[in-house]
Structures are given as structure tokens and as C-alpha cells.
Amino acid sequence: MESVAHEPTQAGESPSPRLEIRTVSKRFDAVVALRDVSFTIAPGELHALIGENGAGKSTLVAIVTGLQEADSGAVLLDGETVQFRDPKQARRAGVAAVYQDPNLFPHLSVAENIFAGEHPTRRGQVDKRAMREQATSLLARLGFDIDVDQAVAGLTVAEAQFVEIARAISTDLKILILDEPTSALTPGEAVRLYDVVARLKAEGTSIIWISHRMEEIRHLADTITVLRDGQHVRTASADDLDDDAMIRLMVGRSVVLTPVPRQTPLGPVRLSVRNLSLDGVFDDVSFDVHAGEIVGVAGLVGSGRTEIARAIFGADPAGSGEIVVDGTPVRALSPRQMARRGVVYLPEDRDAEGVISTISVARNIALPSTAALSTFGLMHPSRERRIAREQKAALSIKAEIDHPVSSLSGGNRQKVALARWLATKPAVLLLDEPTHGIDVGTKAQVHDIMRDLAREQGLAILMISSDLPEVVAVSDRVLVMARGLLVADLDIVDATQEAIIAAATRSASLTGDVA
């Protein structure tokens, strides 16, 4: 595989590496997670680490931070070989990771979280005054003024991330690893994070940035390393790689989001929503979804898109209006009752709501079908395994059905979450951010699955997405929401990204990205 030496961003001799990954390999049973991976990171460099889900990024981070031990190879920090026992030891050595889901104690204060386990003391007691002063100083260094006495539970996701970064810089930080750091942030919050990263780089901190967002990587990265199937593919200056090149390196081929023309006519209306309202959230929303149709839902953050899907599914019932499924009105039904009517919902947060990570793939897939697979309340293991194998094959899930879902990549967890409901043979599929946080190759697979479900199997699909190219490429029709109102119903011929943005912003002065 091709390897390109790091080009220093400043003229002169290349600095000694801050971090060196030297022929690192890791295997989990028969699965090779990493194979002879080698690259270096310079001081003060933002180094993007990219690859499909399952490429080995998370395993490599786990080895660098002491969560796992490499089978072979070495990690060098400032020229010295290191092998951390745990993340706490890594943090003391100046290596810290911040993940997309903040790892904080919600009922402790900001200051207590920043110094968790490392509180300043005076005469053998925690020095709360010094702790508050130092916490305030660390946050100010990042450009933030947060009340350090408030509980973390009251913070936004962005503020919680900044608290974790403050905890990281409470030691002599050398390397900060940020894993999908902007996935849950608003555009404004992301910009603030970019500013923080720039400050840390200026201080000489090396940043490892893991993201699926190509435009973000282009904007921020000095250097990019690509992993594929556990192997190092290329390390190059960010200036030398455009989006197409990065995608080809990640998946081994070009992936282009393009609409696939419909070859079959639409079927009858499967889902009809009439005058649906929920006080203060959305008002007087009406639309239809036909059998064989994919209807995209776009709009600004907070426009009510997710809330409409949850209302249809019965998770947060609407205050008024009517929902009709296959010609039969339904009202005030629970999610379980809606699922029995053939309406299922795949939420955005698949780990919290879409799957049970601690149990097997097979059990996850079979759970919603328990009644159909049981006799006198007893589950038949053979039936459970049969339906799991069927869904594994249908969705190309790359995992053994006996493995826990927690061991799967993000893309495969998403497929398991989808398989759970497809096993019930639904009529209507409500998808909320179905490709959020998964790589471009798996995203294309999910799009193909959606098209097959609609066009070949006759499902009616309502897809909420923050990715406008995805909305345009996959949908037959696009609904646009703004401030709880359905402001446009666009045929795909008219649903350009520009038209969607114009519809979402036409009636009010709103801020933020169309999502």
C-alpha cells in the first residue's frame, strides 16, 4: 500500500515526531483489527485519521490511550516507547481522548469533573477554592466562561466537550484525540471548537482528529492518514488529497451520491398524516407517503422533524390531528401498538435507543419479533438464529450473530438496528438520520437497502436527514420544515439543495445549517 512521508508545514528541517505508531498489529480472535500500521505525528500538527467504520481507527486510539494492548509493534511518545496501563496513566503522560459522547459524571460540578481523581489538596483535604480557581483558569485558557460550580448535567453537549478538553489540559497535554467531535454540535458550537483546537495547536499540542466529514477535514487538517481494513493505506499532506481521493483510499473505489431513477410506479398511500399538531413543537402538518416511496424530510435544526416522526410512532403523541395507516385511522397508540400496525421507527441515537449493545446480534434482531418466534412465551433459539442469519445476509452485516453488538462498527450497529424492525415485516419505516456517523461506503450500502425496501418490497419510507446531498440523492419527494411548519413539499425534480435551503429560510430569519 502507498505511503507518503509527512510534509512539514513550515520551511526547514522536519521536527522530531511527537507520536510514532510503529508496525502496530492487533487481532480479536479471527478478526484482524490492525496489521503493521505505521505513521508519525508532528508537534502542533492536526492529523486527521480517516477510514470506514471497522477500518481500525477506534482500536488504534484504544491502544494509544491504554484501553487495549497491541499484539505487536510499538507506540513512541517523544521518542520513548510507551505502553499505558489505562487512560489515566496516558493522561498523566500527556495523551488524552475526548469522544463524541462526553465521559463525565453528570451530578458532579464542572470543577469536580475537571479534576476527577486529581483534586488539588491542602492539609490532606480537597482544596475546593483552589479547584474552582484552577478550573476557571483552564476554561479561560480555552476561551470559555462557564460556571464551574454548576452540575455537568445542565451543560450542552458542546460545553461538556469543552469541560473534557479542560480536564485534558490540566496536565501537560501533548496529544489530544478528538473522535467525531462535531457530530452532535450545532454549526456555531463547531466553530467554537475549531477555535479551541487552533489555540491548542499554537501551544504545540498535537491533535488527532477522527471524522467522517470531508469538508471539516479539508478545512482543519495539516496531514491525513487513511486506514482500510486494518491497514495503513496512505499518509499525505491535506493539500494533496481532495474528497474523491480520500473516499477512494478509504473504500477502494469512488462513491458518488447520485439519484437512481425510479423504474416502477408508486403504490397506494400507506401513511397519511392530517393536520398533526403538538403544542409548541409543530402545527397543522399534513402529507402522504405511498408504498414504494422514499420521502425525505429536511429543515433547520429545531424545525420539528424528529418530533413528527416520534409523534407518528407514538413515542411522543401529537395533541391533535389524524394518522392513517393503510386506510385505517390510528390515534393515541403506543410504539408497541404502532409496530403491530406495521409502523416502525429507527431513532438517530442507535446506541441508546436502537440496539441493546450488551447482548448478541441474534438476540437484538429477534427481540421485536418475540411473539412470532415464541410458543407459550418461550423463545425458540433455532427460530431466533434463522431470522438473524436471514437479516445478516440481507443487510450484509459483517459480524457473527453470536457476537455482542458492542463489538461491531458503527455502520454494522446501524444495520442491526434496522434489521430488528425489518424482521417484523413493516409497512412504514420512519428513519431518523439513518447514516449519521457512518462512513461513505456503508452509507452507500444503506441507501441501496432503502431503495430496495421501497421499490422492490413496497415499504413507505419517511427519512429525516441532516445531509442535503443524501436527501436529494435518495428521496422521491422532499418535505421541508421550518419552525414547526411544513413549508414545502417538493417533487425530486425540483428538490435541489438550493431550493430546500430557500424553502427552509423563506419565512423567517433563522441561523444554523439546514439539517
Contact (CB, 8 A) for 410 and 53: yes
Contact (CB, 8 A) for 332 and 276: no
CA distance 135 to 149: 10
Grid cell in block for residue 63: 491502544
Confidence band, pLDDT 50/70/90 cuts, at residue 276: very high
Q: Which helix (H) or strand (E) is 80 found in, with range? A: strand 80-82
Q: How high is the pLDDT of residue 6?
A: 38
CA distance 501 to 26: 45
Grid cell in block for residue 382: 433455532
Contacts with 197 (C-beta within 8 Å, 6 or more apart), sequence order: 46, 178, 207, 209, 220
How do strand 320-325 and strand 269-278 relate by DSSP bridges? Answer: antiparallel
Condensed to tens digits (0 to 9), the pLDDT of residues 3-45 reads 333 344 444 456 789 999 999 999 987 778 999 999 999 999 9
User: What average pLDDT is seen over the chain?
Assistant: 86
Q: How high is the pLDDT of residue 372?
A: 66
Contact (CB, 8 A) for 277 and 285: yes
Contact (CB, 8 A) for 347 and 430: no
Residue labelled with grid coordinates 416502477:
264
* Amino acid sitting at position 459: L
Confidence band, pLDDT 50/70/90 cuts, at residue 515: very low
Grid cell in block for residue 249: 483510499
Condensed to tens digits (0 to 9), the pLDDT of residues 443-502 reads 888 899 999 999 999 999 999 998 888 999 999 999 999 889 999 999 988 888 888 887
Confidence band, pLDDT 50/70/90 cuts, at residue 508: very low
When pLDDT is averaged across residues 314-325 and rounded to a whole number, the result is 92
Q: How high is the pLDDT of residue 509?
A: 39
Q: Which is it for the CA torsion 180, 186, 190, 196, positive or negative?
A: negative
Residue labelled with grid coordinates 443524501:
470
Whether 376 shows a pLDDT value over 80: the answer reads no
CA distance 395 to 201: 42
Q: How high is the pLDDT of residue 436?
A: 81
First-to-final CA distance of the chain: 37
CA distance 216 to 208: 13
CA distance 113 to 119: 10
CA distance 463 to 444: 15
Q: How high is the pLDDT of residue 399?
A: 83
CA distance 505 to 496: 14
Whether 514 shows a pLDDT value over 60: the answer reads no
Q: Which helix (H) or strand (E) is 420 found in, with range? A: helix 410-422
How does DSSP classify residue 293? -
Q: Which helix (H) or strand (E) is 73 found in, with range? A: strand 72-77
Coil vs helix vs strand at 246: helix
Grid cell in block for residue 16: 522530531
315 burial type by CB count under 10 A (0-12 exposed, 13-18 middle, 19+ buried): middle
